[in-house]
Structure 1
Amino acid sequence: MTDVVITVRGEHQALVAAELGVARVSVRLDGPERAGVVAQAQEIAADLQQELAAAETEGAITKWNSERVSVWADRPWNDKGKQLPLVHHASVQLVAEFKDFSALSEWISRASEREGVAVDAITWTLTKQTERATENAVAQGAVQVAIDRATAYASALGLANVQAVQIADVGMLSHEAAMKAPMMMQRGAAADMAGAPNFQLEPDEIEVSATVEARFHAN
């Protein structure tokens, strides 16, 4: 009897508690005098850098970095079409990866109360070790789903022997657009929260998913 070819797709996903919170904060100032704007931006950034360095020493932060100050100028227009005097701008961005979420909440609360400081985003993620382990487990789960599905199809046809002959990431066995698998989705952001009162950040769960395509012979 000729083997029956069965091609199936297997999907699996898992929700994992976030382990790290990455905060992106910017110092943005503007004014008529370049030197004053730059000096004020550098002063505020230096204070934030000192706080991050102290938090890193205490073990609340795994790593952080700060960009050099960016400076530019423009001449805005008013609502009557008149060009206004030159305005100078200065910006510094800081990125910090917290493993202590209470410390993250406290630092964001303090930082957002400062003039010229904006919280651009907070994203939640996993450590590399957890990410790799979860991706492997989810990929194995997707393969098992494909096996179970192919076995069910074969059983419906009265076939008992099922053997895998091909397995690949989704899109590689079909003519559909290829997609990555496993795929990690990071959710959670707090944008432009300057001036916000004290608050507690609630970390999102991280969804890790995988999809595979598999081809089996059954008889």
Structure 2
Amino acid sequence: MTAVVITVRGESEARVRAEEAAVRVTVTTDGPARGPVVERAQERAAVVQDGLVAHLRSGEVSEWSSARVSVWSDRPWNHDGAQLPLVHHASVELSATFIDAGALSWWLGDVAESDDVQVTAVEWRLSPTTRARVEREVAAAAVGVAVERASAYADALGLASVSPVEVADAGLLATRPEAQHPLAARMMSADHAGGPSFSLQPSEIVVTSVVEGRFRAE
């Protein structure tokens, strides 16, 4: 039998417990006078910052920042269609990366007690070092699956040797690339409780890899 080109796909998946959480909170104040509104936002943001600094010193936070400050005014309308006096607003957005889930739970419970503070996002993720290692392992495993499938097809055809011709991320060997990402990560849902106190547990990060390969069997 002449040589046969076998095209296969290999997939692999790994589930890894998240190591850190990126959290964002926004301090928002409003009122009829611009000065007091801005001052109250600054004071409340300073309290939140002090807490982050304390967690940074204790090693429970790896980094934090206060990247965005906004001040604006508007004139609301009442139910009769009349425009009311100016209302001034101020907001300060802060973000931090927690590496201790227990510390994050306590901190969220503290900041959530204030009506001026809103928790806008908590994103579980892997550290850069762990993510790079897991992505490499998952990609290698996906290639291994592709090799095993090609070998199985060759055995079924009575062919003894299999050699790689091309290996690529999913879609790159096809005439029409697929929309899905060949190497992706998604987060399993986090377990948490609402109310005045929080109990957060790190989510599982699912890292997947899909490859396509062409092999020559003869």
1:123, 1:188 within 8 Å by CA — same for their partners in 2? no
Counterpart contact for 1:122–1:189, Cα < 8 Å: no
Matched, 1:202 2:201: yes
Q: Does 1:183 align with 2:184?
A: yes
In 2, are the aligned partners of 1:172 and 1:178 still within 8 Å (CA)? no
Q: Indicate if the aligned counterparts of 2:9 and 2:213 stay in contact, CA closer than 8 A.
A: yes
In the alignment, the residues of structure 1 paired with residue 78 and residue 154 of structure 2 have an alpha-carbon distance, to the nearest angstrom, of 73
| Percent of aligned pairs with the same amino acid | 50
- TM-superposed CA distance for 1:188, in Å, is 4.9
Unaligned runs of 5+ in 1: none
Q: TM-score, normalised on structure 2? A: 0.93
**What residue is the counterpart of 2:58 in the other structure?**
58
Gaps of 5+ in 2: none
Structure 1 residue 178, shift from structure 2 partner: 5.2
The residue matched to 1:184 in structure 2 has which SS?
strand
CA RMSD of aligned residues (A): 1.7
Q: Using the TM superposition, name which of 178-187 and 46-55 deviates more.
A: 178-187
When residues 79 and 154 of structure 1 are mapped into structure 2, their CA distance, relative to the original with a 3 A threshold, is farther
Of 144-153 and 41-50, more deviation after overlay is shown by 144-153
Question: Is the aligned partner of 1:15 residue 2:18?
Answer: no
Distance (Å, rounded) in 1 between the aligned partners of 2:68 and 2:44: 13
Give the letter for the 1:204 counterpart: S
In the alignment, residue 143 of structure 2 is paired with which amino acid?
V
| Residue identity opposite 2:209 in structure 1 | A
Amino acid at match of 1:216: F
Residues 207 and 137 (structure 1), Cα distance of their counterparts in 2 relative to 1, 3 Å cut: same
User: Partner residue of 1:30?
Assistant: 30
Structure 1 residue 81: Cα displacement: 2.5
8 Å CA contact 2:13, 2:207 repeated in 1 = yes
Aligned residues: 215
Q: TM-score, normalised by structure 1?
A: 0.92
* CA distance 1:60–1:204, change in 2 (3 Å): same
Residue aligning to 2:70:
70
